[in-house]
Chain A
Amino acid sequence: MDQKNDPKSFGSRNVGMLTLEPSSCDTPNSHARHPRSMARKKVRLPKQESQQISDQTSWMLAVRDARDRQAFGRLFDYYAPRLKGFVMRTGVPAAQAEDIVQEVMISVWHKAAQFDPHRAQVSSWIYQIARNRQIDVLRKENRPMPEELMQDEVQTEDASQIIALEQEADTLRQALNTLKPGQRDMVEKAYLGELSHSEIQEQTGLPLGTIKSRIRLGLEKLRHELKDIRQS
């Protein structure tokens, strides 16, 4: 447990992105911008707050708003090996796992406009895309998806809310880390897709219960966020 070098810990010291607007050298493909993303307001953060927003979120926003390929390269470097590791844990051989990583990362690029940092962490968003892809590949099924929420084209990002959600996710991750090995194993199995609904139900008393309070807190924040969207 090398917490010092843990790249998962949030708290970016990234000086290159004090605002999330990429510099011109970050956008070799600025011609790829499309009108919809131009309509979005960029996040301009006071220095203090920008020190807390995660690298991953800033890269993702640069991909979404500016089609920034360099930022996408950084997302790839960070997530592709972890995603491959994650997919292989479900028993998928290395070569097939790389095919899934390839498709998921390409989807991240194409679906970037749907990324909303007020509602999801980059990791949760990628997790969801990856699970869809695996269901598609392994079961030859589509997972029915909820209707997308309609959102304002010109949505103002609220840095403090993004950071609050990140901190929430960070606390959830710490809660996972402090579980006893057996419990953690069950939680991981559940989210790796190795447990059926009834198997999860039988386990509820143990591991899910431990992280339930974290989930509930995260839920409060998200619920608040959804209410704002409904009202806008």
Chain B
Amino acid sequence: MTSITHHISPPLLAAYAAGTLPEPYALVVASHISMCDDCRAALGAHEAAGGAVMESSAAQAVSDDLKARVFDGLDIAPVAGPVYQKSGVFPAPVMEALKGKPPKWKSLGFGVRQSVISRSAAGSVRLLYIPGGQAVPEHSHNGLELTLVLQGAFADEDGRFGVGDLEIADDDVQHTPMAEVGDACICLAATGAPLRFASWMPRLFQPLFRI
């Protein structure tokens, strides 16, 4: 909890607070906030700003019967959906997206696995499992890519990312993350457009210590 060093950027948080962030990114942001009190507090500050904008909006008179309609609704108990909680390394928003079930991993070879949580025109979000000491498959992506570490750690040109750290990669960054030797690295990753694994060079899948 205390060792998180890579956080959500202010524009990303503001967009999340305002609800303009596409769902795949919003899932990663909500997951990071579940793990990070600093960003939870920062979100609170953005919501205070949003609340101030709401409260200072010019009032529009409401229909005469609106209040009665609202009071009529108070006695109708809302249908409560299931509440999901953190399970193992997976934060609550991920468990909710998985509907409480364990992820369905698919092998990408060499011990690397992925589990696609959602894929749509808005983008995609997936879990990645990289054995310790191995490279994350090289890939290209369009637009923003958010990667949140749930277990283990990886390192790339931008530094070291441990549990709870969020990597924000802008357009066309060619990066080659490498899982740290030790525990397998499990990440939650969101991209704006369908992810394409560009190359399947076997060298990327050789454990470091065997090269």
Contacts and interface: CB of A to CB of B under 8 A. Distances in A.
B56 A120 contact: no
B101 to A, nearest CB: 17
Contacts of B17: 128, 131, 191
A132 interface: yes
Contacts of B11: 197-198, 200-201, 204, 208
Size range of the chain B interface in the assembly: 35 or more
Interface in A26-65: none
Interface in A92-135: 94, 97-98, 101-102, 105-107, 109-110, 119-128, 130-132, 134-135
Chain B CB within 10 Å — which of A128, A142, A149 has the most? A128
Interface string B67-94: 1011101100110000101100001110
Chain B CB within 10 Å — which of A73, A97, A149, A190 has the most? A190
B93 A98 contact: no
A131 B19 contact: yes
A108 to B, nearest CB: 9
B61 A81 contact: yes
Interface of A: 8, 69, 72-73, 76-77, 79-86, 88-89, 94, 97-98, 101-102, 105-107, 109-110, 119-128, 130-132, 134-135, 141-149, 168-169, 172-173, 176-177, 187-188, 190-198, 200-201, 204, 208, 211-212, 215-216, 218-219, 222-223, 225-227, 230
Closest CB pairs A-B (n = 3)? A123-B51, A147-B92, A124-B51
